Amino acid sequence: MKRITVTVILIGLLLAACSRWNVEPKTTASGSGTGTGTDGSKTVFSKGQVSVPGLKGYDLDAGKITDDGALPADFYWNVETYAGKSRADLYAHNGAKFTITTLDVSVLDRQPSTLYTTLTQQTYTDYPIATDSSIPIRLGTVIAFQTNEGRYGIFRVDRLGTDLVLAITWLTYVK
C-alpha cells in the first residue's frame, strides 16, 4: 500500500512538472526605449529557435508561429509538391523584407551588438526565396531581414528536413 501511495505521488509530481513545460518556440524578449546600450550598441528585442512547419507564417518580432501569412507574420513558409518533388518558398509578408547574406553561419554565436550596422546596410527585397532558386535556401543559409514593424534582424537555417520544416535561430534588434 505504501508503494502505491508513493507511486501515485510521484506520478502527480511528474504531471505537475510536465504541465509547466512550454512547447512554444524558445523566445527571449528584451530592450525598451531607444534600444541603445550604454556603449552605443543596439539591444536585442527577441531571439530564439523555432521549427516552422510548411504552410505557416512566423512573426520575427514576437517569436510566434501564425496560421498563415496574415498580420503579424513577417514571412510565410509555403511548401508544395509537384510530381513527387517538394519545394518551398519563403514569402515576405506585411511589409517585411529579406536578403540572403554572405555572413558565416556562426554569426549568431557571436556578440549581437556588433552585427546591427551590417544589417542596416543590406539591400532588402520582398521577393520570395525558394529552395530551388538560383540562390536557394539551404542548411546554413544566413538571411538578414527587416520586420514589418521596422526592426532589423538575422536568422540562420538550422534544419531543412525532407518534410520541409524550416528550423531557424533568429535574433531581432530593438528599433
Q: Above 80 in pLDDT, residue 46? A: yes
Cell matching residue 40: 552605443
Distance (Å, whole) CA 69 – CA 78: 10
For 8, 98, 100, 114, the CA distances from 143, given in Å and listed in that order, are 50, 7, 4, 16
Residue 48: is its pLDDT beyond 90?
yes
| Cα dihedral: 113, 102, 70, 166 (round 10) | -100
Instruction: Give 108's Cβ-side CA count (13 Å radius).
Output: 23
Residue with cell 514589418: 148
Residues 123, 135: Cα–Cα separation, whole Å: 15
CA distance linking residue 57 with residue 74, whole number of Å:
7
Q: Which residues pair with 128 in a beta bridge?
A: none
Q: How far apart are CA 1 and CA 20, in angstroms?
A: 29
Q: Tell me how far apart the alpha carbons of residues 126 and 155 are, in angstroms, rounded to a whole number.
A: 16
Residue 13 has what pLDDT? 42
How many residues can be counted in the chain? Answer: 175
DSSP, res 32: -
Predicted confidence at residue 34, as pLDDT, reads 47
> Prior bond to 72 cis, omega within 30?
yes
Name the least confident of 50-54, 138-142, 161-165: 161-165
- Per-residue pLDDT of 128-159, as tens digits, reads 998 888 888 899 999 999 999 999 999 999 99
**pLDDT tens digits, residue range 61-120?**
999 999 887 889 999 999 888 888 888 899 999 999 999 999 988 888 777 777 898 999
